[in-house]
Amino acid sequence: MQVFERGEDLILPNADPAVEIVKWYRRFLVGLDIAQAQDRNAYSICIDERVPFYDANGRQDLTKRRREIVRSDHLPAMSYADLATVTRNLMTDPAIAGRSYLVVDSSGVGRAFCDILNSKSVQHTRVQMVSGENESETKERGQTFNNVGRTRLLSALNSAIHTGDLSIGNFEACDLLRQELESFEADVGSTGRVRIEGGTKFGHADLAVSASLALWLSDHRSIGAHIGEAPLRGFW
Amino acid sequence: MYPEVERIRACSLDLPRMAKLVARQRKVLSKFEFDVEHGLNWMGRGHQFFDSAAITAAYTDTPQLMLGNLYAGV
C-alpha cells in the first residue's frame, strides 16, 4: 500500500471508481524563538499528520491525528541577517520543504527580524507573546500580528502533553527540552495574573517556547487548520 | 482556633451539577491546573507546571528528523 505525498497532501491512489479517495495531510510546523538580550535562538519542528488507510470494509479512512515534536534545537548566536539565512535554509530543506509552515516570535526586535524574513521571501506567521491568557490579531504596516498570551501558549502545550495530543520524539536535545518543561513554575503576580516562568542554566526555556509556538500554529487558520463545516453551537 | 470565623468550603468536586464539567476538565487539564481550578489548591512558586509523569509518557522512540546543512551561505 503506497501513500503518495503531493506537497502536504497524502493520497492513497485507487483506480476503482467506487472507492472514494480521501486526501489528508502531513505537514511540518516550525516554531522559531529568536534570541534577544539574554536568551538563545531555538527552533522546534512538529509533524502534524493524518494518514489514509483501508478499513475492514475496503473504504479509505484516516488514522488519528498525530502531532509530534520531531526535532528541537538551539542555533548559535549570530546576526539577525545570518539567522534569516539559516531560517530560509531550514524552510527549504528537502526534508520539510513545500509542506512546512513557520511561526516566529515577533515580540520586540522580532518584528524587524520578520521584515528581514520577508525580504528573503520566507513565508511565516508572526506571533507576539503578550502577557495574559488571551489571543487577538492586529495589523501593522500591512502585516498581521497574532498577539497570543504566553500563558495561553504554555497552557495549550501542557494540555496537549497531558492528553497525549502531542508527543516528543527521540532527538538530540530531547533531554534538554524535558529539563526546560520541568523548570516551569506557575505563580500569581502582583496584578493577579498567572505568570508561568521557566528556564535552565542552558537556556531561557527557548526550546519549550518554540515547541509551544509550533503547536499553536498547528491549530491556526493561517495554515488552513480549520477548513470545514460544523453547526454553530452555543448561539441562540 | 478562631471560633468567630466561619469556614465555608465551596469546591466544584463536591457539586453534582458541576460533575460533567469536572469530568471533562480532568481529561484536558494537567494535574496541577486541575487541582488549582477545582481542588482548591494554591498556585505559587515551587509547584511544577508541567507534570513529570505526563512528560515521560509523551516521549516516543521516533528518530530525529534529519536536516541538511542549515548554515550554507552564512
- pLDDT tens-place string over residues A34-70: 988 777 899 999 999 988 888 888 888 888 889 999 9
User: Mutate which of A41, A91, A158, A162 to test chain B, going by most B C-beta atoms within 10 A?
Assistant: A162
Q: Sort out which chain B residues have CB atoms less than 8 A from A172's CB and list them.
A: 64
Q: Reply yes or no on whether the pLDDT at A230 is more than 80.
A: no
What integer pLDDT is reported at residue A201 of this predicted model? 65
- Out of A95, A171, A187, name the one closest to residue B43 (CB): A187
Closest among B55, B27, B73 to A69, alpha carbons compared? B55
User: Mutate which of B49, B70, B74 to test chain A, going by most A C-beta atoms within 10 A?
Assistant: B49
For B49, counting Cβ atoms within 10 Å of its Cβ (0-12 exposed, 13-18 middle, 19+ buried), the class is buried
Q: Sort out which chain A residues have CB atoms less than 8 A from B33's CB and list them.
A: 155, 158-159
What integer pLDDT is reported at residue A147 of this predicted model? 94
Q: Which residues of A34-157 form beta strands (DSSP E)?
A: 41-49, 52-54, 60-62, 66-75, 100-105, 125-130, 135-140, 143-149
What integer pLDDT is reported at residue A228 of this predicted model? 59
Say whether B62 and A163 touch across the interface (CB within 8 A): no
For B43, counting Cβ atoms within 10 Å of its Cβ (0-12 exposed, 13-18 middle, 19+ buried), the class is middle
Distance CA B7, CA B4 (A): 10
Given pLDDT bands bounded at 50, 70 and 90, which one contains residue B3? confident
Crossing angle of helices A206-218/A150-163, nearest 10°? 80
Closest among A12, A101, A140, A85 to B72, alpha carbons compared? A85
Q: At CB < 8 A and 24+ separation, what contacts does A161-165 make?
A: A161/B30, A161/B50, A161/B54, A161/B55, A161/B58, A162/B28, A162/B29, A162/B30, A162/B31, A162/B51, A162/B54, A163/B27, A163/B28, A164/B57, A164/B58, A165/A65, A165/A67
Question: Which of these ranges, A22-31, A68-77, A87-96, A166-175, has the smallest mean pLDDT?
Answer: A22-31
Distance CA A72, CA B65 (A): 9
What integer pLDDT is reported at residue A1 of this predicted model? 66
Say whether A161 and B65 touch across the interface (CB within 8 A): no
Distance CA B66, CA B63 (A): 9
pLDDT tens digit string along A150-204?
Answer: 889 999 999 999 999 999 999 999 999 999 999 888 887 777 777 787 776 666 7
Mean per-residue pLDDT over chain B, rounded: 89
Closest among A151, A88, A93 to A124, alpha carbons compared? A88
Q: Reply yes or no on whether the pLDDT at B69 is more than 80.
A: yes
A16 vs A201 pLDDT, higher one: A16
Q: Reply yes or no on whether the pLDDT at A217 is more than 90.
A: yes
Given pLDDT bands bounded at 50, 70 and 90, which one contains residue B31? confident
Q: Which three cell numbers stand for residue B68?
A: 541538511
Mean per-residue pLDDT over chain A, rounded: 87
Per-residue pLDDT, averaged over B17-45, amounts to 87
ipTM for the complex shown: 0.82
B 7-36 → A contacts, CB under 8 A? 27-33, 36
Distance between the two ends of chain A, CA-based, in angstroms?
Answer: 47
Q: What percent of chain A has pLDDT over 70?
A: 93
What integer pLDDT is reported at residue A94 of this predicted model? 93
Q: What percent of chain A has pLDDT over 90?
A: 50
What integer pLDDT is reported at residue A229 of this predicted model? 64
Given pLDDT bands bounded at 50, 70 and 90, which one contains residue A132? confident
Distance CA B30, CA B33 (A): 5
Q: Reply yes or no on whether the pLDDT at A89 is more than 80.
A: yes
How close A48 comes to chain B (CA, Å)? Answer: 13
Q: Reply yes or no on whether the pLDDT at A118 is more than 80.
A: yes
Interface of A with B (CB under 8 A): 28, 45, 47, 68, 70-71, 75, 78, 82, 85-86, 89-90, 93-96, 154-155, 157-159, 161-164, 166-172, 174, 178, 181-182, 184-188, 194, 196, 198
